[in-house]
Amino acid sequence: MALAEAALAAALAFWSLLPAHAANPLAVVFGGGTPMDFGRSLRDGKRILGDGKTWRGFVGGAASGFVLGLVLTVLGSFVDPRLSFGPWPWVLGILILLPLGALLGDLLGAFVKRRLGLPRGAKAHGLDQYDFLIGTFLLLLAFAPAWWLARFWTGEAIWGLVFIIVITPVLHRVVNVIGYRWGRKREPW
């Protein structure tokens, strides 16, 4: 495989996941208000999700990721058909799954952290960086497996998956530091 093909696969994978990558930081921007768990705890006395997961953030992050995906689809259609998220109306389903999967993965990560006794904002290496990606991939595999396989598994697309796995912790750190400096996050991780 030529280096150019691997680089193209990496760029396409990155482009394809931008709505998912953007959903969590945009949820922080729009967040606040009523917690998704309504302040409830399980029998263990620990919160289900915590105050950091709010309905406003969830809806804002999902809607923003969807709109970003629409913008990317329109822009991509002028550049290269591979940058499209799919044919209409199929694209709408993909653009719902990407941010929704990311946010559901993040919720699952918060649930696991609460069960482990980790407070809001505590570091959980690996879980913090990959929960949204796992949620996105699981939702895509459940509802759009052909799309996921074509974008991340088949042929040279596997190099895009490798790139995403490697770059995600770096992006996670950079975005969190920015959120911390802007006063939207309490911790820079």
Least confident of 14-28, 89-103, 153-167, 174-188: 174-188
Give the rounded percent of residues in the chain with a pLDDT score beyond 90: 78
Confidence category of residue 1, pLDDT binned at 50, 70, 90:
low
At 147 the pLDDT is 96
Instruction: Give yes or no for residue 189 having a pLDDT over 80.
Output: no
Q: What is the pLDDT of residues 112-127, one digit of tens each?
A: 999 999 988 888 888 8
Which ranges of the chain would DSSP assign to H, the alpha helix? 3-30, 55-79, 90-115, 127-143, 145-152, 157-181
**pLDDT, average across residues 142-146:** 97
C-alpha to C-alpha distance for 71 and 166, rounded to whole angstroms: 26
Instruction: Encode burial over 156-179: b for 16+ CB neighbours within 10 A, e otherwise.
Output: ebebbbebbeeebeeebeebbeeb
**pLDDT, average across residues 15-23:** 97
| Domain ranges, ordered by start, for the chain | 3-181
Q: What is the pLDDT of residues 45-90, one digit of tens each?
A: 999 999 999 999 999 999 999 999 999 999 998 998 888 898 889 9
At 141 the pLDDT is 98
